[in-house]
């Protein structure tokens, strides 16, 4: 499925519920998803919120899609929540509409993303402010261009980093760093984002696409059922006691072995112990047998 053309039909012939504010191109198992308001630096408006929810629904079901990459069109990843369309207009409108919008935004930016059944990578190509941190941290992995500019700019226009931004930042940054950037609003680049633990690594912008594809290709080789269980387990055990985590992980491991359609553990053991065909310390077992 290639979904970059907003007017192209879905498999069942219906019009796709995205394409104006979000574009999707599926190539070789990777869905390249771009927030698409380059003239507004991809500021997150209701259009992006609702289209992203529709995209997540569709990508979840699409067997051609193995990995999702989220990025921004033009020279921005995203300038955060749209001050006019996400804040000013909904603030002045019916409370229920605003609540619905906020709920839908929380869904795509972190609630669904955190446990999304397929791996997600944020590819931060440029400006990344405020609410865009939620998207970034909501993704499993993240790569930035060295030249990208990050900032918790909320303090500069008189609000706190709300939505779930402060919580997200507290998950991945140290207290000193988080409070420094929350309280000063100072900007930083992709290399500093790596030092702060916000992204896995940063590369020159000219290499960003190729390095992201390489990472996505690595994830594509892994057993998708086990990948899903591994990330879900990570998020669940973070808030558990050690005893509870042990119980949960053993149960989750048994459940994963039992339900894995390709019975990866059996294949892995057979190929390593009996056939001496691969080394798990060096590569994945052959999933095509």
Q: What is the contact surface with ligand COA in residues (CB under 6 A)?
A: 40-41, 43, 79-84, 127, 129-131, 153-154
- Specify the length of the chain in residues: 289
Q: Measuring CA to CA, which residue among 128, 146, 147, 148 is closest to residue 138?
A: 128
Least distance (Å) from ligand COA to the CB of residue 48?
11
Instruction: Report the distance separating Cα 245 and Cα 24, nearest Å.
Output: 37
* Comparison of 4 and 156: residue with beta carbon closer to ligand COA: 156
Residues 6+ apart with CB under 8 A from 84: none
* Comparison of 6 and 74: residue with beta carbon closer to ligand COA: 74
Give the alpha-carbon dihedral of 109, 137, 18, 71, to 10 degrees: 160
Least distance (Å) from ligand COA to the CB of residue 50?
17
* Comparison of 59 and 123: residue with beta carbon closer to ligand COA: 123
* Comparison of 42 and 271: residue with beta carbon closer to ligand COA: 42
Give the alpha-carbon dihedral of 130, 132, 135, 140, to 10 degrees: -90
Least distance (Å) from ligand COA to the CB of residue 163?
8
Least distance (Å) from ligand COA to the CB of residue 44?
8
**E strand or H helix at 25:** strand 22-27
* Comparison of 80 and 119: residue with beta carbon closer to ligand COA: 80
Which strands make up the sheet holding 67-72, listed edge to edge? Answer: 22-27, 30-35, 67-72, 120-124, 141-145, 201-203
Task: Judge contact between 113 and 136, C-beta under 8 A.
Answer: no
Least distance (Å) from ligand COA to the CB of residue 135?
11
Least distance (Å) from ligand COA to the CB of residue 159?
8
* Comparison of 68 and 148: residue with beta carbon closer to ligand COA: 148
Q: How many other C-beta atoms are found inside a 10 Å radius of the C-beta of residue 207?
A: 14
């Amino acid at each position: 499925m290639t979904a970059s053309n907003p007017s192209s039909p879905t498999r069942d012939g219906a019009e796709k519920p995205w394409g104006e504010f979000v574009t999707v191109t599926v190539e070789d198992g990777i869905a390249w998803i771009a927030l698409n308001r380059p003239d507004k630096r991809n500021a997150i408006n209701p259009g992006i919120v609702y289209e992203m929810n529709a995209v997540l629904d569709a990508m979840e079901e699409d067997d051609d899609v193995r990995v999702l990459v989220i990025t921004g069109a033009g020279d921005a990843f995203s300038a955060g929540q749209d001050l006019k369309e996400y804040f000013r207009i909904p603030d002045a409108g019916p409370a229920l509409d605003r609540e619905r919008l906020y709920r839908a935004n929380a869904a795509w930016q972190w609630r669904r993303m955190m446990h999304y059944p397929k791996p997600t990578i944020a590819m931060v190509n440029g400006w990344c402010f405020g609410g865009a941190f939620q998207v970034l941290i909501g993704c499993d992995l993240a790569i930035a261009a060295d030249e990208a500019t990050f900032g918790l700019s909320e303090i500069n226009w008189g609000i706190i980093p709300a939505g779930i931004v402060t919580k997200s930042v507290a998950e991945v940054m140290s207290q000193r760093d988080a409070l420094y950037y929350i309280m000063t609003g100072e900007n930083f680049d992709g290399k500093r984002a790596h030092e702060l633990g916000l992204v896995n690594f940063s590369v020159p912008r000219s290499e960003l696409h190729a390095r992201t594809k390489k990472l996505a290709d690595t994830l594509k080789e892994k057993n998708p059922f086990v990948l899903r269980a591994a990330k879900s387990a990570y998020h669940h055990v973070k808030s558990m006691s050690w005893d509870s985590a042990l119980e949960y992980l053993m149960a989750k491991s048994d459940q994963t072995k039992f339900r894995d359609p390709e019975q990866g553990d059996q294949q892995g053991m057979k190929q390593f112990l009996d056939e001496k065909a691969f080394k798990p310390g060096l590569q994945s077992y052959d999933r095509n047998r």
